[in-house]
Structure formats: C-alpha cells, structure tokens
Structure 1
Amino acid sequence: MKKKLIVSVAAAALTLAALTGCGSAKDDSTITVAASATPHAEILEQVKPILEEQGYTLEVTVFSDYVQPNQVVESGEYDANYFQHIPYLESFNEEHGTHLVNAGGIHYEPFGIYPGTKSDLSTLTEGDVISVPNDTTNEARALLLLQDNGILKLKDGVGLEATVRDIVENPYNVEIQELEAAQVPRVKDESAFVVLNGNYAMEAGFSVSKDAVAFEQSDSEAAKTYVNVIAVKEGNESKEGIKALVDALKSDAVKEYINNTYDGGVIPFD
C-alpha cells in the first residue's frame, strides 16, 4: 500500500511538472518589449494593429531606467527592448557581460544648427561665434554637423571623438565657443549660431523642422551611430516575431506617425 502511494505521488508530480512546463512555454505569437515612455512606447503603440493583422500580440512595458530593460531581455523575460542607441548597447554589454545585439535601427534624434544673431549660414563672416556643447560625444556631433555644412573641416578619421583641436580648416575663421550643453541655448543672443541636441533645442523653444538651419541627416555618421534600435539577445534577431516587429516599426504608416508627431525631433532611420 505504501509502495502504491509513493508511485501515485511520483506520477502526480511528473504530471504537474509536465503541465507546469507547458504553461511556462512562451507563446510565439506574443512579442514582449521593454521600452522608454517617450517616444519609444508611443511609437510601439502604433505598431500593435499592424502586428495584429499578422497574428502577433504586442505587449509593451514602460521602464523609467536604462538598466532593467537590458536585464529583462538578457534573462529572456522579454523578447526585445527599444530605448537605446548602439554605443550605449555596446557599453552595457562590455560592463555587464550581457549578450545583446541590434535587430534593427528605427529612429534617431538629430542635432541641429539653430539661429542666434544670424539665420543663414551663408552670411557667416570672420570672427562669428558658434556655440557648441563641450562634452565629448555632443561636441563631436556638433563639429561633424558643422563640417557637413562646409563651415569647417576636421582631421581625417577623428569621427565621433572629434574636438576643436581636430579642426584643420576654418575658412570663415569662426570662433567655436564650448559650453556645458544646458548653457548653449542661453547664449543664442550672443552667438551667430548655436548647435543643440534635441532635448535642449525643444526646451529652448526650437523646432527641428521649423527652426533648424541644418540638422543631422539619416546618412550622417552620427545618425548611423546614434540610431535608436530594437535590441534582442544574441541569436534571437532572426526570429520571425522580431523581424515582423522591426518591419512594422519601419513601415510607411509608422514613419508617417513619427514625422507628424515629433516635429522633426524624432526622425525615422532608413
């Protein structure tokens, strides 16, 4: 009798384990994404009906930090995240030993050249001041944008590590004024032009689409580097659900939403 009871309990345990295993298997038709609130989660909301037509359910969870979204993808709790650019992704992998990869670039948030005392780059004259952020990444982006618009030339190969010391040609002999990023918009009345990243431009009341004299294009080095991506754990980038998600985010409907909603502060990445 005791032996029979033990066998029965063991059989029940095996049945429960089997049922539990079945219940924990992830449904391939559900795609779970960890995202920042703006603009990432907002953009993902536009994707839900597109994916529904293909038989997928998109579940989006908003995170307020930049650590947990990567941790939950690494652990397999979530399929993907959408909040970061490639340099941050690579740095996170190196620092935390994670194995996250870029599954597709979706948008970038451009640097722009904005009017100060002048509103047309062709009116630059010797000694004009152009104010730029002084931190390494943002200064390099600002200098590259000025180079793209013919205002100066940088040493070959410096790329996104460029500083004012790397300027090799300055045909207008402009003065590059380096300031803490938050201070740059405050000197627009004392500078011919100011070069700003998106959030400081918006805080200063500038619109990328309406006010920027020039801004980073999708084929620029900075845009390609700082494009915001869908990140997944290595090996999952070819899964059908992930490919469907990326394709939906790059669809004409989503591009139209981005262009109509963010006034040039967010630009689809081709």
Structure 2
Amino acid sequence: MKLRSLIGTAVIISSIAVLLAGCGRQAGDKVLKVGVTAGPHTEIMEAVQKVAAKDGLKLEIVEFNDYIQPNVALSQGDIDMNSFQHQPYLDNVIKDRKYDLVTVAKTVIFPMGLYSQKIKNIADLRPGAIVAIPNDPTNGGRALLLLAKAGLIQLKPGTGLKAAVSDIVENPKNITVKELDAAQIPRSLPDVDLAAINTNYAMTAGLVPTKDAIAMEAADSPYANILVCRSRDRDDRNIQKLIKAYHSPAVKQFIEEHFKGSVVPAW
C-alpha cells in the first residue's frame, strides 16, 4: 500500500513538474529580445514596447553601441530581432558572413535630402551648377540616386545602389558633381548651388529634411531601416505582434511628434 502511495505521489509530482515546465515555456514565448543601437532606434523601440505590452507581448530592449554586434548577437541567438540597419547594409553583412537573417518589415528612414541656400525649387537650378555629394561609396551612390530621381542626371542602366559619378550618362544641365566628406557638406552650402546631406549631419546643422530639403528620399527608398530576424523565426507569432505594434498609429504619432521630420515612418 505504501509503495503504491509513493508511486502515485511520484507520478503526481512528475506531472506537476511537466506542467510547470510547459507554463514556463509559454511565458518565455511572450518575451522578445530586440537589439537596437543607441539613439532614435532605442527611443522608438521604447514606444513600441508600450504598445506591444497591451497585446500581451513583453519586449526586452538590448542596446548596442556599434553596427557589428546586433547582427552577430541575432545570428548567435542571443537576441530575437534587431532594428538598426537598412537593407543594403544587411545585404553586405549576409554576403560577407553568411548569416541566415531576413527582413520582416520596414521601420523608419533617416532621409537624405537635397538642400540649397540659393534656390527653392529643383527646376531653378542653373546650368553648370555645382552640386556637392558625399565622397564615400555608400552615401555617394545614395546621393546620385537622389539626383537621378530629381531629374538632374541619368545613370547607366543597371547601376543600382553602387552608382559612381562615372556612371552618369546624361547630364542635361551640365552640373558639376563635387565629392566632399559627408560631415563637411553642410558647411559647404554657401559655396555650392545644391548639396546632398545625410540626416544626421543635416540635424547637426539645424536642418530638418521634411521642412528644409527641396527634394528628399521617399519612404520606399532602399535605405529605409528594417526589422530583422533569423529566417526560421519569420512567421513566429510574437515577431508578427512586434511588427503590428511598430506599425501602430501610436508609434507613428510618436515618431512624427518626437523627431519633428528628421526621422520619417517608412511604412
């Protein structure tokens, strides 16, 4: 009789342990670790965190201070998602490191804009005008795509995101493209007719893309930032919940009011 009681008790204890373990896994499923870089991405994710909590999703925000570690941590399983990069950057990382990572949604764009102290409209740009663009390959190509979109130049077909000045095949206004260090371009505005400036440097110079730029990258730009996860997790319900929270009206309103046009929703 005693033996049967002991066996029965053991079975009950084992059943409770299994049940508790199951409950623990379910609770764990509701916690999502999201890697971000310090600054705007952290601030936005904190707004997302509040919205997600209302949908039963707990976010743990993990902040990084460089652009390398968020993808390393994601690939190794230390975090579940990250939010800090644009697609061209991710493509290069995947090519170089063979990470099995995928984009699941767009977030925001820090739009490159065309600025001028001499004209108010692209159509007013004089023939032979001097146009400053960043001299590094990534931002230089980005600036040339923006100039092409504005109708100032035409690039060689198939050039893509790696456009260079040598890829200009049509230049109807015969503009002179002047390549300068990206950080120096805002200070060159008095000396050029038009300049392509990254948002971070525009903000430092007191410029707001949505207010001061006479042309600007749109939300569908390939340089829009993205939410990234491991390929096997792309359909995970919690990741879908995070996307829903990020794309909520409340988060969009936060971005528009908090950054006042320097950061723009890309969805």
Q: Is residue 261 of structure 2 the alignment partner of residue 264 of structure 1?
A: yes
The two structures have a TM-score, normalised by structure 1, of 0.85
User: Deviation at 1:48?
Assistant: 2.1
CA RMSD of aligned residues (A): 2.1
Q: Is residue 108 of structure 2 the alignment partner of residue 110 of structure 1?
A: no
Partners of 1:257 and 1:218 lie apart in 2 by: 17
Q: Is residue 248 of structure 2 the alignment partner of residue 251 of structure 1?
A: yes
1:1-270 residue pairs with structure 2 within 5 A?
22=21, 25=25, 27-219=28-220, 223=221, 225-270=222-267
CA contact under 8 A between 2:36 and 2:42: conserved in structure 1? yes
User: Deviation at 1:111?
Assistant: 0.7
- Give a deviation string over 1:49-106, Cα, whole Å, max 9, x none: 3212211111112111222222222222221111112222232233333222112111
Partners of 2:187 and 2:105 lie apart in 1 by: 36
User: Deviation at 1:236?
Assistant: 0.3
Residues 96 and 155 of structure 1: is their aligned pair in 2 closer, same or farther, counting only changes over 3 Å? Answer: closer
CA contact under 8 A between 1:117 and 1:190: conserved in structure 2? no
Residues 173 and 94 of structure 1: is their aligned pair in 2 closer, same or farther, counting only changes over 3 Å? Answer: closer
Partners of 1:38 and 1:126 lie apart in 2 by: 40
The two structures have a TM-score, normalised by structure 2, of 0.86
CA contact under 8 A between 1:208 and 1:265: conserved in structure 2? yes
AA partner of residue 121 (structure 1): I
User: Deviation at 1:114?
Assistant: 0.5
CA contact under 8 A between 1:107 and 1:266: conserved in structure 2? yes
CA contact under 8 A between 1:128 and 1:175: conserved in structure 2? yes
Secondary structure (helix, strand or coil) at the match of 2:107 reads strand
User: Deviation at 1:182?
Assistant: 1.8
Partners of 2:167 and 2:72 lie apart in 1 by: 38
Identical-pair percentage: 38
Secondary structure (helix, strand or coil) at the match of 2:233 reads coil
CA contact under 8 A between 2:112 and 2:143: conserved in structure 1? yes
Partners of 1:149 and 1:233 lie apart in 2 by: 36
CA contact under 8 A between 1:114 and 1:193: conserved in structure 2? yes
AA partner of residue 50 (structure 1): V
5+ residue gaps in structure 2?
A: 1-9
User: Deviation at 1:216?
Assistant: 0.4
Partners of 1:95 and 1:158 lie apart in 2 by: 21
User: Deviation at 1:120?
Assistant: 2.5
CA contact under 8 A between 2:106 and 2:225: conserved in structure 1? yes
Partners of 1:88 and 1:144 lie apart in 2 by: 17
CA contact under 8 A between 1:116 and 1:194: conserved in structure 2? no
User: Deviation at 1:122?
Assistant: 2.1
Residues 22 and 70 of structure 1: is their aligned pair in 2 closer, same or farther, counting only changes over 3 Å? Answer: farther
Residues 81 and 192 of structure 1: is their aligned pair in 2 closer, same or farther, counting only changes over 3 Å? Answer: same
